[in-house]
Amino acid sequence: MQSDSDQDLILRVAKGDRLAFRALYARHNVRVFRFILRFIKDEGTAEDLIGEVFLDVWRQADRFEGRSSVSTWILGMARFKALSKLRRPREEALDEEQAGAIADEADTPEVVAQKVDKAQAIRRCIDQLSPEHREIVDLVYYQEKSISEVAEIVGIPENTVKTRMFYARKKLQELMQSAGVDRGWP
């Protein structure tokens, strides 16, 4: 099943193949969860939304037209669900703490602490970007999407993605310099 392409799996899911759906879920659930978590910043809500996203994948697999990659299609649905959730009135305040970074076992506790501090500083800098710039940075750097895939997910022209990326990088560099964050890991 691992050798099947996403395209093959989605075609099989459209025909009601539960095993293909499980394989597609296993392949994409972590990436989609992290993507949603960056919007929502609440693990419980992100877990609920990932369930909704993959329920839609199951129900709408026959509507997949193949104009983009399957992962782009799924992230587009995830983005829509996350934005819809953010627009709804909040039932309770969102938890401001991010999930802790997983430490490399080979690193010493001091190096781990430095990396965590630096990652938090970078995240704070990214959080200071406008929502439009933050979204582009997330899709390009964390979700590893191409400019054309980002344009499709966000629903804007490719040139707008490039422009936003340029200004997001410029602003992020300024924020990191003012926060005293250098570019390399300790």
Looking at residue 121, which CATH number applies to its domain?
A: 1.10.10.10
Q: Using the 3D structure, point to which of 87, 122, 156 is the last residue of a domain.
A: 87
> Do 127 and 61 share a domain, yes or no?
no
- The domain tally of the chain equals 2
User: Looking at the domain assignment, is residue 92 inside a domain?
Assistant: no
Least confident of 74-83, 113-122, 146-155: 113-122
Q: How far apart are CA 104 and CA 115, in angstroms?
A: 10
User: Looking at the domain assignment, is residue 80 inside a domain?
Assistant: yes
User: Looking at the domain assignment, is residue 94 inside a domain?
Assistant: no
> Do 81 and 27 share a domain, yes or no?
yes
Q: Which pair of tokens denotes residue 178?
A: 């003012």
User: Looking at the domain assignment, is residue 64 inside a domain?
Assistant: yes
Range of the domain at 16: 6-87
pLDDT > 90 in the chain, percent:
24
CA 78 to each of CA 7, 40, 181: distance values in angstroms, whole numbers, following the listed order? 18, 11, 31
> Do 66 and 17 share a domain, yes or no?
yes
Q: Which pair of tokens denotes residue 59?
A: 């129900």
> Do 10 and 66 share a domain, yes or no?
yes
Which CATH number fits the domain that encloses residue 47?
A: 1.10.1740.10
Q: Which pair of tokens denotes residue 177?
A: 């310099």
Q: How far apart are CA 162 and CA 53, in angstroms?
A: 28
Q: Using the 3D structure, point to which of 87, 119, 139 is the last residue of a domain.
A: 87
Residue 161 confidence (pLDDT): 92
Q: Tell me the pTM.
A: 0.53
User: Looking at the domain assignment, is residue 151 inside a domain?
Assistant: yes
> Do 68 and 14 share a domain, yes or no?
yes
Contact 41, 111 (CB under 8 A): no
> Do 169 and 120 share a domain, yes or no?
yes
Residue 88 confidence (pLDDT): 74
Rounded to 5°, angle at Cα 26 from 58 and 31:
95
**CB environment 36-64: b (16+ within 10 A), e (fewer):** bbbbbbbeebbeebbeebbebbeeebeeb
pLDDT of residue 97 exceeding 70, the answer is no
Contact 50, 33 (CB under 8 A): yes
Residue 164 pLDDT class (50, 70, 90 cuts): very high
